[in-house]
């Protein structure tokens, strides 16, 4: 009874661990498979195997060549074997198996071979997958473009890649003798250790920080450090994986840029002070000169009766006009930080048209206002009024002598902007020649007695101060259209 129970238990164990048996009678060329062996091959219970059929189940290539070789040596040289190979089951499934064979020798000849047959497919595929992942990690680790390291829970360097040795200057052997605390900049160590403690306490699984290391030669190396913790199946910490990116060049560039920015701000302060001098002191002196010239005309007219006085009068007027222009630019730059208000475009267009009505009448022209809907834009009131007025007066100033002046004003929504367009049929501008300098200070493109080259410069700066933009279309002899884009109320 006890032997029967043991036999049942043994068979049950073989069933659970998927171990079958097989036997080859060499003299009679017969083969016997246990039921588990047949299950592994996915054949029916009444299947009758042969040596050729058994070998034929092994996958063509390495597996079949190998089983033929070792089975032959088992019979001829009486060698036992224990191999892991692939078979192709009767249902076409690929499967990894373990085959163990032992020869039975009588009178110096192998008369039969007994063996075990085990299904190890799941275990083998898992191990192979793990091996592939380990190889992928090794290649990623060793050939990464950034520094990588495995670090113990105490901070010792366990393994480093070549990129990290290049970044910090120590050889792999020197790293092993150090901890990360040894080469961390003192000012960054407390922050680093705080994050490490949080990971060890289970409060976080990773962290990232900008960190300075001390190079072997004593120089400071700026890096971005990314650290994650590796745990076992029970959640116990094993070690850290660190990724270290060298950002020293970027940091040096930032410091250089900050230095340049500081110098630029200082220069801007000086220019702003100069603008104040221009807009206040020089304006006062210019006014005094103008007053003295006017007094001379009224109270000492005999002093004006020479060839030099008209030139002095003209020079004084030009100086006064130049100072007014510079004052406009200075005031614009000083007040450019004003907050934008929500303004209706229609009212400002109508007001500007009203202001140039007399000039239009004198030029025998007309203005067509096509705007039939009011749009709200984010703008500075004085700037919006100045922009519309400047484009209208430009159209009048540079009208064609070959046809009656006609100006068309319109507006429409365009993306997040309101596009305000002023179109005329005037002289036009050769944009191939003048586009790059169109909005430059003191740039003129027509021989007109009132042309100063200031209006477009100021207008463009006003538009950009309100986070807008300006575009121009023009053809000589046909006319010009200026498109002003101002932020729509929804933008």
Can you give the chain as a three-state secondary structure string? CHHHHHHHHHHHHHHHCCEEEEEEECCCCEEEECHHHHHHHCCCCCCCCCHHHHHHCECCCHHHHHHHHHHHHHHHCCCCEEEEEEEECCCCCEEEEEEEEEEEEECCEEEEEEEEEEECHHHHHHHHHHHHHHHHHHHHHHHCCCEEEEECCCCEEEEECHHHHHHHCCCHHHHHCCEHHHHECHHHHHHHHHHHHHHHCCCCCEEEEEEEEECCCCCEEEEEEEEEEEECCCCCEEEEEEEEEECHHHHHHHHHHHHHHHHHHHHHHHHHHHHHHHHHHHHHHHHHHHHHHHHHHHHCHHHHCCCCHHHHHHHHHHHHHHHHHHHHHHHHHHCCCCCCEEEEHHHHHHHHHHHCHHHHHHCCCEEEECCCCCCEEEECHHHHHHHHHHHHHHHHHCCCCCCCCEEEEEEEEECCEEEEEEEECCCCCCHHHHHHHCCCCCCCCCCCCCCCCCHHHHHHHHHHHCCCEEEEEEECCCEEEEEEEEEECCC
The CATH superfamily label for domain 2-120 reads PAS domain (3.30.450.20)
pLDDT in tens, the chain (491 residues): 445 544 554 454 445 457 889 999 998 999 999 999 999 999 999 999 999 999 999 999 999 999 999 999 999 999 999 999 999 999 999 999 999 999 999 989 999 999 999 988 888 787 777 777 777 777 777 778 888 899 999 999 999 998 999 999 999 999 999 999 999 999 999 999 999 999 999 999 999 999 999 999 999 999 999 999 999 888 899 999 999 999 999 988 888 888 888 887 777 677 666 666 666 666 667 777 777 778 888 887 877 788 777 777 776 776 666 666 556 555 555 544 457 788 898 988 888 888 888 888 888 999 999 988 889 998 888 788 888 888 898 889 889 989 999 999 999 998 889 999 999 998 888 888 767 667 654 445 445 444 444 567 778 888 888 889 989 898 998 999 999 999 988 76
CATH class of 144-246: alpha beta
Domain borders along the chain are 2-120, 144-246, 252-334, 341-487
- Was domain 341-487 assigned CATH 3.30.565.10? yes
pLDDT at 6: 46
341-487 matches 144-246 in CATH topology = no
pLDDT at 129: 75
């Amino acid at each position: 009874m006890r032997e029967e129970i043991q036999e049942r238990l043994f068979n049950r164990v073989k069933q659970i661990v998927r171990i079958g048996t097989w036997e080859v009678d060499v003299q009679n060329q017969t083969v016997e498979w246990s039921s588990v062996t047949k299950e592994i091959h996915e054949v029916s219970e009444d299947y009758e195997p042969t040596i050729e059929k058994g070998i034929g189940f092994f996958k063509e290539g390495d597996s079949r060549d190998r089983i033929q070789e070792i089975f032959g040596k088992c019979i001829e040289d009486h060698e036992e074997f224990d191999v892991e190979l692939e078979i192709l089951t009767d249902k076409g499934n690929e499967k990894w198996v373990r085959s163990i064979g032992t020869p039975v020798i009588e009178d110096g000849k192998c008369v039969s071979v007994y063996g075990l047959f085990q299904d190890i497919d799941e275990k083998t595929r898992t191990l192979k997958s793990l091996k592939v992942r380990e190889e992928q990690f090794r290649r990623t680790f060793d050939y990464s473009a950034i520094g990588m390291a495995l670090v113990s829970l105490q901070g010792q360097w366990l393994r480093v890649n070549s990129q990290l040795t290049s970044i910090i200057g120590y050889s792999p052997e020197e790293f092993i003798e150090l901890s990360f605390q040894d080469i961390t900049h003192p000012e960054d160590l407390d922050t680093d250790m705080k994050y490490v403690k949080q990971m060890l306490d289970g409060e976080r699984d990773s962290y990232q920080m900008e960190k300075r290391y001390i190079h072997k030669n004593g120089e400071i190396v700026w890096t971005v450090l990314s650290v994650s913790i590796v745990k076992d199946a029970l959640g116990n910490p094993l070690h850290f994986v660190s990724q270290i990116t060298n950002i020293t060049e970027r940091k040096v560039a930032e410091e250089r840029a900050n230095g340049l920015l500081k110098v630029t701000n200082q220069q801007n302060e000086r220019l702003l002070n100069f603008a104040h001098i221009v807009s206040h002191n020089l304006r006062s002196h210019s006014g005094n000169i103008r007053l003295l010239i006017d007094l001379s005309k009224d109270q000492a007219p005999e002093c004006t009766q020479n060839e030099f006085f008209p030139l002095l009068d003209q020079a004084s007027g030009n100086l006064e006009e130049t100072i007014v222009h510079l004052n406009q630019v200075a005031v614009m730059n000083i007040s450019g930080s004003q907050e934008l208000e929500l303004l209706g475009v229609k009212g400002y267009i109508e007001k500007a048209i009203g202001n140039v009505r007399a000039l239009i009448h004198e030029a025998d022209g007309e203005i067509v206002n096509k705007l039939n809907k009011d749009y709200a834009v984010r703008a500075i009131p004085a700037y919006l009024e100045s922009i519309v007025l400047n484009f209208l007066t430009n159209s009048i100033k540079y009208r064609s002598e070959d046809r009656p002046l006609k100006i068309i004003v319109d507006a429409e929504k365009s993306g997040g902007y309101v596009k305000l367009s002023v179109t005329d049929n005037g002289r036009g501008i050769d944009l191939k020649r003048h586009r790059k300098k169109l909005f430059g200070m003191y740039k003129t493109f027509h021989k007109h007695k009132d042309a100063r080259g200031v209006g477009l410069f100021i207008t463009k700066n006003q538009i950009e101060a309100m986070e807008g933009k300006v575009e121009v279309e023009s053809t000589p002899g046909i006319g010009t259209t200026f498109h002003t884009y101002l932020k729509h109320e929804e933008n």
